[in-house]
Structure formats: C-alpha cells, structure tokens
Amino acid sequence: MVKWILIAFLFSFLITWKALSQNSMDHFPKGALSMGLGNASVTMSDPWAVFNNIGALGKAGEAIQAIAGYDHRLGLNELTTVSAGLVIPTPAIGTLGIGVSNFGGKLFNQQQIGLGIANQLGLASLGMKISYFQTNIEGFGRSARPVVELGGVAELIPGLFFGAHVYNLNRAAISKTSGDYLPTTVKAGISYRPSENLLVNFESEKELLSPAQFKAGVAYSFQQKLWVRTGINARPNNLFFGIGFKPRRYQIDYAMSRNFLLGFTHHFSFNYNLSAP
C-alpha cells in the first residue's frame, strides 16, 4: 500500500512540475552553462549542444570532448538527472555527438541514449539526432520510442548568431498504446557577442500544447577563464545564476535556478578536452 501511495504522490508532483515548467521530465536542457543562462542556449556551440541543439555541434571545434552533468531538482532524488556525452569531430562527415541521460528514481524513471551528427555548411551549422527514449513505471511496465531532433545555428553578421531547434519532430508517444505524447518543442533565439568576454542571449520556446516561453541570459568572462552568468524565464517566472571555470583542458560549471513556486535547483557539469596536449 505504501508503494502505491508513493507512486500516486510522485505522479501528482510530476504533473504539477510539468505544468509549471512547460517542459517534460528528461527533456530539460542540460549542462550548468545552459542553466546559468536561463536555458537560453539554442545558439551555444559548447559540447552540451549534443543535448540542447544538435545543430550547433558543428561549431564546437576540432577537439574530442567528454561531458558529465548532475541536476538535483528541488532537493528530491526522484527529480534528479544524471547525464554524460562524447563529442567527436571527424574530417569526413562532420561532428558526431553521443548523449545518455537518466532521470527519476526507483518508482518512475526515464532514460535517453542518442546519436547525432552536425556539419558546418558555409555560414550555418546543421544537425540531426535520433534518440531511444525509455520510460519505466513501477507496477506498470516499460516502454521505449524513438525521438528525432533537428537544429541549426548561423552567424548572420560578425557577432550576431541565430539558432533554431525542433525536438520530437516525429511526434513520438510515451508508448504504443498511450494517448500521451512526448513533448514536441520548437525553440529559436539570437545571441549577440560584441566581444570574446560578453554574450547576450534571447530565446523563445513553444511546446505544441503550451504557451510560448521567453528566456534571456547574459554571461561575462574574466580573461576567458572565469565566467559569471545570469538568466530569467517568463511563463513561468524563474531566475538563474551560474559560474564557470575554464582552464586549458577542462571546464567546471555550476548553476542555481529558482522556480517561483517550487524552490531551488542545483546544477553541476564537467567538460574535459581529450585532444589537448
């Protein structure tokens, strides 16, 4: 009986969280860099683009990079996401990205494993990703569906970037027999970078059944090694703060976000350059 009460409570909490955040479970943007900018990261070409916009990965550089992240939401282990990935540039076909993530606890959890490719074509970087998305519910079983993503980033003029991304283009359902679909989201944004030390991002995200969400983020660096970031979201209203430390070979980022009703969430991520001497 206790197990079923816990399952009912968890489902109620997840439904409330989904309504407030207008996102779905394991499809939260990933990486503390993105979180520190209020998730206004559709134009960002860091290695976490393998999760946030596969199309930006073509601008990620020529280094092989490994990433790992931990998101602890609202102090609950049941809302924790662990993620990892690998970015591999190739001279023949472009940049490959591999990403895996796990969300949830024992009673309810979701996993993703995806493979994407992006390539720089003139001024634009374009990419596509296919993921295997699995949902497990204690007492109800397991289901898995493929999810398709498309995205791209272009530098319109020096210092001004435009990015767009579509998640779940194929309208995958949670299961073959379910009438509930995984979210199909479209996001687009611009980034103004007047110098190497400053960037300002604006972004809008729309899920098919929800109002559009507005995001904005600002980041400033001190000699390209220490970054400070802040961001804001509307609908719902959330605040974000972050810092990042980037020596030659690795990068450590931390971000904290505050949901106006539910409280604080902490994000940690780590990037490691496997190609640096």
Confidence bin at 178 (pLDDT 50/70/90): low
Q: Which residues of 72-107 are buried (b: 16+ CB within 10 A; e: fewer)?
A: bbeeeebbbbebbbbbbbeeeebbbbbbbbbbbeeb
Per-residue confidence (pLDDT) for residue 276, from 0 to 100: 67
* 5-14, 104-113, 192-201: range with lowest mean pLDDT: 5-14
Confidence bin at 13 (pLDDT 50/70/90): very low
Choose among 98, 171, 153: nearest CA to 129: 98
Per-residue confidence (pLDDT) for residue 263, from 0 to 100: 75
Residue that is written with structure tokens 């791209």 in the block: 152
| pLDDT of 11 above 60 | no
Q: Domain total for the chain?
A: 1
Across the range 190-212, mean pLDDT stands at 94
| pLDDT of 15 above 70 | no
- Amino acid at site 17: W
Q: How many angstroms separate the CA atoms of 13 and 181, rounded?
A: 19
Per-residue confidence (pLDDT) for residue 241, from 0 to 100: 96
Across the range 57-77, mean pLDDT stands at 89
Average pLDDT of every residue of the chain: 86
| pLDDT of 2 above 70 | no
Per-residue confidence (pLDDT) for residue 79, from 0 to 100: 84
Confidence bin at 7 (pLDDT 50/70/90): very low
Tokens of 198: 């400053």
* 79-83, 103-107, 173-177: range with lowest mean pLDDT: 173-177
| DSSP output for 57-71 | GGGS-SS-EEEEEEE
Per-residue confidence (pLDDT) for residue 210, from 0 to 100: 84
Containing structural domain, residue 87: 2-273
* 32-41, 145-154, 206-215: range with lowest mean pLDDT: 206-215
Across the range 16-22, mean pLDDT stands at 39
Per-residue confidence (pLDDT) for residue 237, from 0 to 100: 85
Residue length, the chain? 277
Kindly report the CATH number assigned to the domain that includes residue 62: 2.40.160.60
Report strand pairing: 263-273 vs 108-121: unpaired
> Bigger pLDDT: 145 or 174?
145
> What pTM value is reported for the model?
0.86
